[in-house]
A and B are shown apart, each in its own frame.
Chain A
């Protein structure tokens, strides 16, 4: 459970850092006075939708941290045989990075009020994302053709489970992207659309991060590190 504990510590750190700025030491029973005089204490100043997405991403992060914890705990048992990593995953990683870059370009275009550039970038982001999903399907096929089925070995089961979970989140993101696209075609680069695009970009960057972490996990690069931690703990 160490991965999720580290994750919770990070969240707790951010929460306490924020709480520390909220005058938690104040004595409200002595302080009376009107509103509007305590700048920054009434709301965070971040747009509400963005904060909402931020909280949601913390939940998603927690979910994947828990999956990673389960992965490491299951890995300790003797029947663990990691499957070979399909090489198409490198292409997929490249595609996902491209889609993240495309959405970043879209945010820039929306801020500079360039509707054509915005639409182009959104389409590019959507297409690379779809290509990523197709690539993930190919990876599954490669594994299955090689005789690595879902039920074969827990390591393989985890491969399907983790990539599947990640793909489901990407699919959910595509709904949001479609919503941003619909707006971009209707209204161009208005402030409302710019915010939608920003939300999409934030989600994409986060899922890219999650994917890179999953890749490290599945490729076994973290194993030495985990062994080291385990030795330190015991």
Chain B
């Protein structure tokens, strides 16, 4: 080993840092509600995201009930179906996954993992959550607005999004949707500034960038991307609001509606698509990169082995982040673009598979001859790898223009992005919650309920989305509430659709077991201790569990090594915490 210390360890000044700068709460309100502690904000973010996520889960049931048993449920009209689909998509992608990974895990893990006492701008951080909550409330309000929420599809393509034929198009639905998105982006920007600057400035002594756990790398890079990508959605929303409310023609072409010439003219719907997907594609990786990072840490910890190719993992994360800004138009192959454009974007899309594949190989090679513990977090991490490979491979199909054009409007696309962007990140969300639950609460979750939750969710997700690929390949179109009597669609498709719906209902109900487990274990779970997984990274080394405001007590930790020293030959135990000076004998006082 190369010892990069030029002097003896005892030359290091004491790591005592006064925490007088911290805003210490004095009342119940400022401790639990208007808290500036990143960990409380994290739990607020996660709680809100999961609550609105449950709404989206119920919406997906309604969508599936209609597809599986068309005509059975009178209240699911075609308009209602489109509203359910739209809100399900928008909530899951933005209000659940983005908020949970960055606002939830970002807030909880960044300060703890880099050894900081809190985020660098705690007040702005608190504002970020409350604006996010406001955005969610505005979104929920659209369910109760006259005409209901918008049914424009989660991509909100104009011109249909603001015409009277679309549910909510000429009513409050689309206005509340756009307002909510604008609020979300403002709130996220406040949080995002914190995550980035805390990683840049808040790292404790010895925590160089290349010693950070990959979780922090993933969340950091995703945040940088989100800060640059969300403005595109902001611009699109503002311009669409202008079109809808003030009658400008940014996106709206001249058109006749119900025999009546509208006042719009000359606008470009394609312009909206460019703006939307300039945000929309990085968004995929804004969700995926934190998942990549977290899964690397879960695998390393639960296989008791250092992560394979740490440097390569870091470079791949940064590389994917940069590349994801030049692939957006692969969502627009069917918009009538120039063939050379399609060729360019197909090429960049396939190139992005290279760093992604590097990551998959590295995860598998980390598992190779590891001491694999099949704990609940590990099961979810393994399920992620399998699912991500599955969804990623169909992505290679769809990245090619000639394959995408016939498949673009079929259920194949639905199956693809649910595998890669729905199921895979959700597996990581569950794995991460099970992994860090003992740190957040000081108690272990119930193992058997966890096993039940995992197996039903994992097998159930495949029961839902595997058949959907076949349904798509026979040409069943997406976006249709009912297939009706269609010659090319065989009966087996209807049987499969019913099967998928039953599976979706079962998987949905299994999530109640997860929620029950979280609340039950809070009270009845056995005591977890400070470091139940015997992990190396800093968050497991806090003096008390759960960590208090300020995290570290009197001294911030001093970092001697990277985050992956598992099973080091000659070490007294099979892991060496990052703040352990081994093989030096005494830690500096």
A contact residues vs B (CB 8 Å cutoff): 1, 4-5, 8, 11-12, 15, 19, 22-38, 41-44, 46, 48, 51-52, 55-56, 58-59, 62-63, 66-67, 69-70, 73-74, 77-79, 150-151, 154, 157, 161, 165
Contact B271 A36 (CB under 8 A): no
Q: In the complex, what residues of A have CB within 8 A of residue B193's CB?
A: 52, 55-56, 59
Contact B203 A154 (CB under 8 A): no
Q: Which of B285-293, B410-418, B462-470, B558-566 contacts A (4 or more CB under 8 A)?
A: B558-566
8 Å CB interface, B196-215 against A: 196-197, 200-211
Report the bound CA distance from A33 to B560 in whole Å: 5
B contact residues vs A (CB 8 Å cutoff): 1-7, 9, 12-13, 15, 120-121, 189, 193, 196-197, 200-211, 224, 227-228, 231-232, 234-235, 238-239, 242, 246-250, 263, 265-268, 271, 274-275, 278, 306, 310-311, 314-315, 318, 322, 325-326, 558-562, 564-565, 581, 588
Q: In the complex, what residues of A have CB within 8 A of residue B204's CB?
A: 35, 42
Minimum C-beta distance from B156 to chain A (A): 16
A23-B210, A31-B562, A74-B250 given; name 14 further pairs at CB < 8 Å.
A24-B210, A32-B3, A32-B560, A34-B5, A42-B205, A44-B200, A51-B201, A56-B193, A59-B193, A70-B271, A77-B266, A154-B266, A157-B248, A157-B249
Contact B12 A35 (CB under 8 A): yes
Contact B210 A26 (CB under 8 A): yes
Q: In the complex, what residues of A have CB within 8 A of residue B234's CB?
A: 63
Q: List 18 A-B contacts (CB under 8 A).
A: A19-B209, A22-B208, A24-B314, A29-B306, A29-B562, A33-B3, A34-B9, A34-B558, A35-B559, A36-B12, A41-B209, A52-B120, A55-B197, A59-B228, A66-B235, A73-B268, A74-B271, A77-B267
- Chain A residue nearest in CB terms to B208: A41
Partner of A151, one of B189, B202, B263: B263
Q: In the complex, what residues of A have CB within 8 A of residue B189's CB?
A: 56, 59
Report the bound CA distance from A43 to B198 in whole Å: 10
Minimum C-beta distance from A149 to chain B (A): 10
Contact B208 A73 (CB under 8 A): no
Q: In the complex, what residues of B have CB within 8 A of residue A25's CB?
A: 311
Partner of B275, one of A8, A58, A70, A157: A70
**Contact A161 to B242, CB < 8 A, known contacts A48-B201, A70-B275, A74-B271:** yes
Minimum C-beta distance from B547 to chain A (A): 20
- Chain A residue nearest in CB terms to B557: A35
Minimum C-beta distance from A57 to chain B (A): 11
Minimum C-beta distance from A162 to chain B (A): 11
Most B-side CB within 10 Å, residue of A4, A29, A48: A29
**Contact A79 to B4, CB < 8 A, known contacts A8-B228, A22-B209, A59-B189:** no
Most A-side CB within 10 Å, residue of B4, B314, B560: B4
Q: In the complex, what residues of A have CB within 8 A of residue B561's CB?
A: 28, 31-32
Minimum C-beta distance from A221 to chain B (A): 23
Report the bound CA distance from A42 to B204 in whole Å: 7
Q: In the complex, what residues of A have CB within 8 A of residue B310's CB?
A: 28-29
Report the bound CA distance from A166 to B246 in whole Å: 19
Minimum C-beta distance from B577 to chain A (A): 12
Report the bound CA distance from A17 to B352 in whole Å: 22
Minimum C-beta distance from B568 to chain A (A): 10
- Chain A residue nearest in CB terms to B212: A28
Contact B203 A58 (CB under 8 A): no
Contact A42 B208 (CB under 8 A): yes
| A-B CB proximity, top 7 nearest | A35-B206, A35-B205, A79-B266, A33-B5, A28-B562, A63-B231, A157-B248
- Chain B residue nearest in CB terms to A65: B231
Contact A151 B2 (CB under 8 A): no
Contact A157 B6 (CB under 8 A): no
- Chain A residue nearest in CB terms to B563: A28
Minimum C-beta distance from A75 to chain B (A): 10
Contact B196 A4 (CB under 8 A): no
Minimum C-beta distance from B305 to chain A (A): 12
- Chain B residue nearest in CB terms to A53: B193
- Chain B residue nearest in CB terms to A23: B210
Minimum C-beta distance from A22 to chain B (A): 5
Report the bound CA distance from A18 to B99 in whole Å: 28
Contact B250 A70 (CB under 8 A): yes
Report the bound CA distance from A43 to B276 in whole Å: 35
Contact A43 B200 (CB under 8 A): yes
Minimum C-beta distance from B285 to chain A (A): 14
Contact B210 A32 (CB under 8 A): no
Q: In the complex, what residues of B have CB within 8 A of residue A52's CB?
A: 120-121, 193, 197
Minimum C-beta distance from A175 to chain B (A): 14
Contact A161 B239 (CB under 8 A): yes
Q: In the complex, what residues of B have CB within 8 A of residue A62's CB?
A: 227-228, 231
Report the bound CA distance from A63 to B185 in whole Å: 12
Report the bound CA distance from A73 to B310 in whole Å: 42
Q: In the complex, what residues of A have CB within 8 A of residue B208's CB?
A: 22-23, 26, 28, 38, 41-42
Minimum C-beta distance from A91 to chain B (A): 27
Report the bound CA distance from A28 to B307 in whole Å: 11
Contact B247 A151 (CB under 8 A): yes
- Chain A residue nearest in CB terms to B199: A43
Q: In the complex, what residues of B have CB within 8 A of residue A38's CB?
A: 4, 206, 208
Contact B562 A37 (CB under 8 A): no
Most A-side CB within 10 Å, residue of B1, B3, B5, B120: B5
Report the bound CA distance from A15 to B121 in whole Å: 22
Minimum C-beta distance from B171 to chain A (A): 21
Contact A34 B206 (CB under 8 A): yes
Minimum C-beta distance from A137 to chain B (A): 18
Contact B268 A77 (CB under 8 A): yes
**Contact A12 to B231, CB < 8 A, known contacts A29-B306, A56-B193:** no
Report the bound CA distance from A154 to B250 in whole Å: 6
Contact B207 A59 (CB under 8 A): no
Report the bound CA distance from A154 to B310 in whole Å: 51
- Chain A residue nearest in CB terms to B205: A35
Q: In the complex, what residues of B have CB within 8 A of residue A67's CB?
A: 235
Report the bound CA distance from A158 to B51 in whole Å: 39
**Contact A5 to B120, CB < 8 A, known contacts A34-B12, A35-B12, A59-B189:** no
Report the bound CA distance from A41 to B203 in whole Å: 10
**Contact A70 to B239, CB < 8 A, known contacts A22-B208, A29-B564, A55-B193:** yes
Q: In the complex, what residues of B have CB within 8 A of residue A30's CB?
A: 1-2
Report the bound CA distance from A33 to B12 in whole Å: 11
Contact A42 B228 (CB under 8 A): no
Minimum C-beta distance from A42 to chain B (A): 6
Minimum C-beta distance from B215 to chain A (A): 15
Minimum C-beta distance from A172 to chain B (A): 11
Contact A66 B266 (CB under 8 A): no
Report the bound CA distance from A70 to B177 in whole Å: 22
Contact A150 B239 (CB under 8 A): no
- Chain B residue nearest in CB terms to A152: B248
Q: In the complex, what residues of A have CB within 8 A of residue B263's CB?
A: 151
Contact A42 B207 (CB under 8 A): yes
Contact A151 B5 (CB under 8 A): no
**Contact A55 to B227, CB < 8 A, known contacts A73-B274, A74-B268:** yes
Report the bound CA distance from A38 to B263 in whole Å: 64
